[in-house]
Chains A and B, each alone.
Chain A
């Protein structure tokens, strides 16, 4: 079974440019999450999809961030225009069940997309 895959692994852009990150979850996982880790800090929740619907986007920093999951399969996270403080590692994770539910609500993470904004 393929794991969660993310692309690109590293992106270097200049302030003001646009970047789109992609996540392919594990097949059959309805729940897809985006998280971000800024250097040395916690892994912070951004948003949660159930299939193609945004269940919770309370962690999205501002309207420069747009996440989509058309068709309920892969997801994209676009940052436009990028700012210096957007630098960090963006993790995508998927799960079959909700985190904490009976049974395994384990999140399966991708390897992350490192974003560097110059």
Chain B
């Protein structure tokens, strides 16, 4: 079955710096890769996603890149702010008939003011 590895487990950056979180997946049939952000004590929320027919997607300070050949995808946050501090989860899924999101183990991001 699908397995998703996520690194690093913790990441501390200075406000204004960039943060990169990387994930690898094992199932080459996976075609949908969402990222969820969970602030302390709150619910995980979708922040960005990418489909396998696209190599990169941006939304303001957040971007996700996908390398299908290497089976890895990354989340990039630029100009980090203290409110970016949270746990970030990557996930992979085979869309359509398959629906199980397989999550990575999470990255705790701390943005130091």
Contacts and interface: CB of A to CB of B under 8 A. Distances in A.
A118 interface: no
Interface of B: 4, 6, 9, 31-32, 34, 36, 41-46, 49, 51, 89, 91, 93-106
A61 interface: no
Contact of B96 (A31, A33, A101, A109): A101
Closest 8 CB pairs of A and B: A100-B95, A100-B32, A43-B103, A109-B43, A42-B105, A98-B99, A111-B43, A42-B103
Given A42-B106, A100-B32, A105 B95 contact: yes
Contacts of B89: 42-43
Interface in A96-118: 98-101, 105-107, 109-112
A71 B105 CA distance: 34
A42 B104 contact: yes
Given A43-B106, A98-B97, A99-B32, 7 more contacts: A40-B106, A42-B6, A42-B89, A56-B100, A59-B100, A101-B95, A106-B34
Contact of B101 (A4, A58, A99, A111): A99
Contacts of B49: 106
A91 interface: yes
A3 interface: yes
Interface in A25-65: 31, 33, 35, 40-45, 48, 55-56, 58-59
Contacts of A35: 103
B18 to A, nearest CB: 25
